[in-house]
Structure 1
Amino acid sequence: MTVRDLLNQGIVEYVDCNEENNTLIALTERELEIAVLEGKNGTPREKRQHYTHLEIDPFTVLGVIGGIIPFPHHNQAPRNTYTVAMAKQAMGCIAMNEYERMDGLIYTLVYPHKPMVKSRTLDLVNFDKIPGGQNACMAVMSYSGYDIEDAIILNKASIDRGFGRCMVLRKHQTSVRRYANGTMDQTTGPPDPSSFQDGENDKRFQRYKAVDDDGICRVGELLENGSIMVNKQSPTDTTSNLGGAEFGFGTQGQAALARQVQYKHAPLPYKSSAPSYVDKVVITSNENEQFLVKVMVRQVRRPEIGDKFASRHGQKGVCGLIVPEQDLPFNEYGHAPDLIMNPHGFPSRMTVGKLLELLVGKAAVFEGRQGYSTAFGEEFGSADTAEAASEALIRNGLNYTGKDTFYSGTNGEALDGYIFSGPVFYQKLKHMVLDKAHARARGPRAVLTRQPTEGRSRDGGLRLGEMERDCLIAYGASNLIMERLMHSSDAFSANVCMTCGLLQYQNWCQYCRSGEKVADIRLPYACKLLFQELQSMNVLPRLRLKDHT
């Protein structure tokens, strides 16, 4: 018996959102039973309130991503919304064939776990086969002060064992094109070391270290910033006829054509602050008969301070400290937690679902099974109750509240309070500090304004905006304002005639036909550009200069 059979028999019906206006849907069978009793004994109005449909299961009000949240009906609604948004940023197993794919960017966990606490939704979408996180043994306690404002403490030994370890696979590609005049791009091996001043040790030759004789990088080679992945050369002239027509396009014609063609370097370089390895190389073609060389590069990253983690309850935070296992508190079994979370994250967020996930997950570990936490599922047996989890913990000789005695890792003494600890499913999000760290001293400038470029990808400057400027004005820090907004940005030397007040040439005023009163001033280049743009609109700004006293 399938859903299709039930549809054919009229037992199951798909209801359109317009049809819902004329239906009365019961969430549970109990509501139907109550309605029947009220219909027999109630008023005529109550007798008319007949249900038309029964919901298959209340958890269907949530989508697939909402279904990964354990006990969502015990959480504040915004926390569930945050989880749905963050689950799309979580790393895990993206597909069963993820290592065969050539996607533009793949984030994947090296050791993903199926969650200890799952829901019926996860069974329907086979989440256990392509999970998106790892089970972490979490202790809810304060440790060191590096865990304030949602920061989490990680166990270094857990990281060594593979917790939070991920791979970033990024695709680079270039095309080998054939042009209208018969010429085409070519790939060549690395240049002769003797053509460089220091031979094989020359930094310019070292860029070609990964390139094979065919001009394409070898699989498994290490790529540093600036390394060449494909040593491509393009013809300098791709439009004019180079005599290919009379030579024909046979072997002799191509050889004669090749002798005439001049090439320029057009390599595909690797640009990144962190080194990568060549994972795979694919040579293919597209519908335009252009050959495509695709290079997949791989980075394996360990969690570091600043990387973002989140549980399935909207409790996100960055790693604040990585602590050696011997310094962490440990329980009666000698186990130190993988992760420490500050207890201040609970009271205002009211994520009771996370407390229940820990309790049910801890009981499930000792019972040798996965716990269930389907939305509204306690009534239907699709969610474990706190009472049943507590009884399971007692049967296994543990405290029914999920708390344990912990001992200090530094002096070995028992901690004063009992510590709430157990397994919680944590997601590593794609926001990593390695992709966001940015600093600059000197660097590229925009052509138009001569001010530093914007953005990390363009090696841009760090903007001192209007509000920061307002703070400096309030402090009266005029020298700092001058340095940030002019000297370190777009300082420019201009010549101004003190008679007419216009920008002029050095030692000569074209307007006054004199060079007597031309002064040299320093001003932002953007300011000088504004004056010139105003002049182009027939607005004439004049500068009135005074001696600095």
Structure 2
Amino acid sequence: MEVLPSLLLCMQSKACIVSYRLVESDYLGNKRFELSGQLISLLFEDLFKTMIGEVKKRMDIILSKPARSSILDPSLILRLVNIITVGLERTFATGNFDIKRFKMHRKGMTQVYFASSLSMNLGHMTKISSQFEKSRKVSGPRAFQPSQRGMLCPSDTPEGEACGLVKNLALMTHVTTDDEEGPLISLCYSLGVEDLELLSGDDLHAQSSFLIILNGLILGKHRRPQHFADDIRKLRRAGKVGEFVSVFINEKQLCVYIASDGGRVCRPLVIADKGISRIKENHMKALVDGIHTFQDFVRGGLIEYLDVNEQNNALIALYEGEATSETTHIEIEPLTILGVCAGLIPYPHHNQSPRNTYQCAMGKQAMGSIAYNQFSRMDSVLYLLVYPQRPLLTTRTIELVGYDKLGGGQNATVAVMSCSGYDIEDAIVMNKSSLDRGFGSCIVMKSYTAVYQKNYENGTSDRVLRPQRTGPGAERMQVHDGAFM
């Protein structure tokens, strides 16, 4: 009879979770991001298992023959079966992820990489594409949801049909990877989580006990949820638990959610004890002198990463002077709510908000130096500005991302004419002397490929060797001044 209430409780809790996700469909805490490494690993796993099956099938055909004159060589079959290479090339060329093993059928998963400046390079790496259809005229997924504050940039999004569906990460956002669940489950039971099978009906439905859920898996109930969450946070700050494990108490659902899965977005915040920051002057001096790093602050319990759900239970102050006794965290720097491209705009709070969005799109089109290894890259086309200049007005983000070292564009002297005169709208008139002095000059570099090693159908291939001193053809080599000609 005691099993029935537990089953009913599980059904009720699942119903609550489903309704919560349906109502808050745009809530960022319910979303998981798929990174490129995770997608490629799934693709490689599918191609590798397909290749193993093909090799096994060919070996069975050879072994089933009654008379075999040659020795079975599996390495020769592996050379002939190039399923992995062909599959990866086809996926990257077409952008279609068709993985039947994992029931993935998606289009447009790859993009042509082109970078003419460092801002475009960083914009590519922080871009997030939604699975929502771009043709549907729905405002919900396009709007900036309040839970995205600090995690996604509020300004950096394209114009047109993809507006609001393609977003960019904020400056200090981190996307988590999967953490091991086994030690966390053992830790939860040692901290007082009671298994549902051992509880009576009264204990199951008691208002004082909360349900403990780890990555959607119901572990049991705890009679002191706040004490349990504080213990998990203390262990995380001490480095005994993964730094990206989050604990979230939901008072309405009477649940404590623990998350250690991958794809969650989180950001670092300074820990405050009753409104007093844990970072003191000696810590900052050690950071400036190079004795400590940012990671040492995380391991030392001075800074911790919070995801969207855990932020709901935190009271975050913008500056240390604004903190009260109830403040739990303090922002490292308020400018980190913006992304890389929006951070390049000086004084963005003085602009109309669409202007910042337009500049995020146009700032990526600037031409400059994309990297320090520009002469040893594999880009097919590379545009380099001959005389790139750093901007006249510098922001903190420009210094953080190194845009002042690898600038894009040049500082032009512009004369603004009156509207009633002979002006040109949305264009500029340039003088020839500035062009003669090198204004706007660029270098276009293109890479070409040459095949020097050809593979043949019988498994042989060309080899590049040094000239032979002896043997056939060696008599044609003449020695002149001690060197071969």
Q: Which has the higher strand share?
A: 1
TM-score (normalizing by structure 2): 0.33
TM-score (normalizing by structure 1): 0.29
